[in-house]
Structure formats: structure tokens, C-alpha cells
Amino acid sequence: MEQGLFQIGITLIIIIAITPILGRYIAGVFMGERSIIDPLLNPIEKVIYILGGVRRQEDMTGWQYIRAVIFTNIAMAILVYLLIISQQGLPFNPTGLTAPSWHLALHTTISFLTNTDQQHYSGETTFSYFTQTTALGFLMFTSAATGLAVGIAFIRGVTGRPLGNFYVDLTRGITRILLPISIVGAIALVFLGVPQTLAPPLVAKTLEGANQYIARGPVASFEMIKQLGENGGGFFGVNSAHPFENPNPASNLLETIAMIAIPAALIYTYGIFANNLKQAWLLFWMVFIIFLVLVVITASGEYGGNPLINSTVGLEQPNLEGKEVRFGWAQTALWAVMTTATMCGAVNGMHDSLMPSGGFTTMLNMFLQIIWGGQGTGTAYLYIFLILTVFLTGLMVGRTPEFLGRKIEKREIVLASVVLLIHPIAVLIPSAIALAFPTQLAGISNPGFHGISQVVYEYTSAAANNGSGLEGLGDGTLWWNLSTSLSILLGRYVPIIAILLLADSMAQKQPVPETPGTLRTDSLLFTVVTAGVILILNVLTFFPVLALGPIAEGFKL
């Protein structure tokens, strides 16, 4: 137990240490500050802007930014869909894989386009090297950079700045943040044993004399952007539990840090933009404490093991079902909470095998969406809750609701409400439809409470743009591919539109001078109230499905 807790503690200490470093760097990138890599990247970016017809200094309004996001995403979706359905005739397809069905190709395109990367297929037997790297790998960079750009535009707006230019933000996010870190990280993964090759699968003779095909490919480069960009879609079907994606504890540590690095750093980035690092650190520790509590709940359940099995064998042992022994209960528990908290969705163990406490925390993370949140947009959700808390506390104490010197009025509350309400709509309605037809639509493999969790988890993962799943569902069908695609689109683009309109509205407001009646948002008391608002609103919304799923399953054990 001591070794497991030590591993978790070391990981958390590293996260705390790198947050201000990366947060300050990200702020510098999007504030246009000079850096040592300018001589290398400025000419490259200049060529990109010329080819794209982008005017670097031209700021966009909220609707212009939205249209740029939507039109760019539509163009990328069409391109990638065409590549997927044409994969049989494209190069780097050593095993001659044919194109998947039209609805699986559509779901995969939408999933990777939106930074969800929910997979209803097994990568090594469905997509060629070319499709995985050129189509899906391309979307891993652009979808992550899109979310990052939207998050930065939101931070600019709420701090009273123009939203900026989407094309510039997208380009700088890739060239100055995602690509450099991914290159360094991929090289490190190669040294740690992750393959990077275009050679076909290796054929080995078993002791019985049969042929065994060992899949491989350009995994290291794919793996790093998968983690860093909050993508989560695995090169292999078992994701980061596969020894070629995540061979040892050192690679596991690197991938865990990559998963949380940008979401945690963006809180600090906000503090720099707002010129209020005190508030940034208060919010960081609020999120960190909630995250730590969820890690403790999950780790305790996994360390305690399954009481039914323990009573049968007469031994107290951890729950090792669905886990890789090279990671054990501690690193699997930490990863499970981390991947659902950051909206990454990668797994290094099977979430379907987690104890009910682990099912509870992973689902709660995706219901909350702010611990630590997604790539950029998750940071925006956190400040949506801040704005809502300002409004609610202002009503309670009779003070004018203001955030960063700007009044919170009807338009801002309506837009904030849209962001918060679209998630339960995209989760609960399709879940109810699927559960009404458990055999025909849902394809539940586990009866009872766990079967309910399987269905709700799948739609929650889709709407939260997470992508992980409780395996066991027959989710490769027309129903699952189309219904989850709808949840993915609602969970991605409706909040983006509302977030950008809210930011634009805040940017256009005249700041009001601070008075004795102004409610300070950088105090410990206000941060505690914000945590209470976040937990109460989400628990009230999703408690019934938690009660019918992991909570009931826990009581049954």
C-alpha cells in the first residue's frame, strides 16, 4: 500500500510543480510575447497565414469566431471521412484493411473531430497506419488546438480583451504548444520502449507451431498527442493498457503528466490574463482538493478489493481484475480518475472492472466537467460556474453581481445556463431511450445496476467529449454510432457557441469601479461557495442515475 500511495504522491507533486511553468508559457504564447523559438517558428507561421489568407492582427467578434470554428471543423470532417472510407486504396496499409461501415466511419470522424475520440472499433484491426496517423492523428492536433483556442478566447473575453483571431490561435496552439511537446514526448516514449515503425505486423511461431500476429506501427507519435491533447483514442483496442502504448511505470508517469499538464496550467494562465494569481491559485486548490478526494475514494475501493471474492478465498487483496500488473491498483485508480477528470478518455485498465466507488467517481467527473476539464473548454466551464456563483451570491446578499469589474446580467446568465443544461439533455434523454429497449438498442451485457451504468456512462462520455467507456456494450451498431454522435455534437458545439457569445458579451461591457459593495471573487470564502454550487447543482441533476447505478451496485456488494 505504501508504494502505491508514494507513486500517487510523486505524480501529484510533479503536477503542482509544472503548473505555473507551463501556465506562464501558454499565457506568453497567446499574449504574443517574444520567446526563444520565435526565429524558428515565425517564418513557418507566416507561410501558414499567407496560404490561409489570414490577417494576424484582425480580431474577431463572437459570431465571427464561432463561424471560423464551425466552418473549419466541417471542412476537416469531410476530408477525414473521405480518407477513412477510401483507406483500402491508400498507402501504408500492410494488412490490406478495408473501409469500415459508413456509420462507424461517421462516428469515428465526429468523435475525433470533437476531441472525444470515442472508439466503437479496435484500432489495430480496423484502421491502417495511414488512416491512424494522417486522418485521426491530424484531428488529434486540430481538435485539441480548437478547444485550446476557444478556452483562450473565453479567457480574453471575460478579462475585457478582444477575443482574438481563431486561425491565429489554432496555428499557435499547434506550432508552439502541442507539436513541440509532442515531439519531445514521443522521442521519450521511443526510448522507454514504445514502437515507432511502418513495418507490418510481426509474425511469431507459438510453441504449438501456430502463427501469432503481433500488431505494431507508428505508435509513439500517436500516443503522445493522444495524451497531451486530451484525445484518448488508442492506437490499439485496449488503449494505454497495451504494452506497446504504455510499456512500464516510467511511460505511465510521463503519459499521466501529459494528460493533465495543459488543463491544470490553463488555470494559472487565466490568473496571468486576469492579473489575479491569487484567484487562480484558489481555484487550482479547489479543483485539486476535489480531485484528491475522488482519487482517495477510488483508490480505497480498489485497494480494499471485491468483498465477495475476498470472502470466498479468505484473503484481503486488492481488486486486480481488468488491471495490468505492471501498474497495479494505485496507478490504475489514479489514471481512471485523471482520465475522466481531464476529459482525456485514455485508459490503462478496464473501467468496467472498477469497484462501484470507481464507477461513481469516474461518472461524477464527467458530470462535473471542471475537474480539471477538457482542453481549453473545460477551463471555460470552471469560470461559467464562477459567474453563476457570483450571480447567486449577489442575489442572496443584495449586491450587484459583478465578475472582474463587469456586471453579470440576463444575457450572461442565459448563456451560462445553456452551457450547464445541454450536458444533462445530451446524456439523460438518449440514455432513457436506450434503457427502454435494453435488448434491441442498448445491447447491455450486464444485467441490473451495472447495466444502467454502462448505458449512462457511454452517453456521458460522449456528451462530455471524454471517449472512455464501460466495455461490454454492443456499441458497434447503427443505433450507438448515430445516437452517440448526436450527443457528441451537442456536447461539443452548443457549449462552444454559448461560451464564445458570453465572452464576447463580457468583452464589450464597460468596467465598473470597485466599491465597498463589490463581491470579491478572490477570497477563500467565495471559492468554497463556488465548490458548493458546483457540487450541489450537478448532484441534484445526476443523483438519480448515480443512485441507480454505482451507488446501488456498491450497496449490493
Name the helix (H) or strand (E) containing 215. none
The cell 503481433 sits on which residue? 214
Confidence (pLDDT) at 37: 85
Which regions of 388-513 does DSSP assign to beta strands (E)?
402-403, 406-407
- Residue whose cell numbers read 476530408: 79
What mean pLDDT comes out for the span 382-403? 83
What is the domain partition of the chain in residue ranges? Answer: 2-556
Q: Examine the pLDDT at 398 and tell me if it is beyond 80.
A: no
Q: 310-318, long-range: CB within 8 Å, 24+ apart, which pairs?
A: none
Average pLDDT value over all residues in the chain = 90
Stretch 501-517: mean pLDDT, rounded? Answer: 83
Distances (CA, A) of 368 to 105, 285, 488: 30, 16, 16
Residue type, 207: L
Q: Is residue 217 within 8 Å of residue 197, measured between CB atoms?
A: yes
CA distance 453 to 104: 23
Residue 343 C-alpha cell reads as 476529459
Per-residue pLDDT reduced to its tens digit, 208-238? 888 888 899 999 999 999 999 999 889 998 9
Per-residue model confidence (pLDDT) at position 270? 94
The stretch 319-340 carries a mean pLDDT of 91
- Which pTM does this prediction carry? 0.94
Could you tell me the three cell numbers for 261? 499538464
In this predicted model, which residue has the larger pLDDT, 436 or 249?
Answer: 249
Judged against a pLDDT cut of 90, whether residue 396 lies above it is answered with no
Contact 556, 449 (CB under 8 A): yes
- Among 1-10, 161-170, 297-306, the range scoring the smallest mean pLDDT is 1-10
Angstrom distance (rounded) from CA 326 to CA 356: 23
Of the CA atoms within 13 Å of residue 50, those in its CB half-sphere come to 6
The DSSP letter of residue 161 is: S
Helix (H/G/I), strand (E/B), else coil: 205: strand
- 3-state SS, 459-474, equals HHHHHCCCCCCCECEC
Cell readout for 346 is: 485514455
User: For the chain, first and last CA: distance in Å?
Assistant: 23
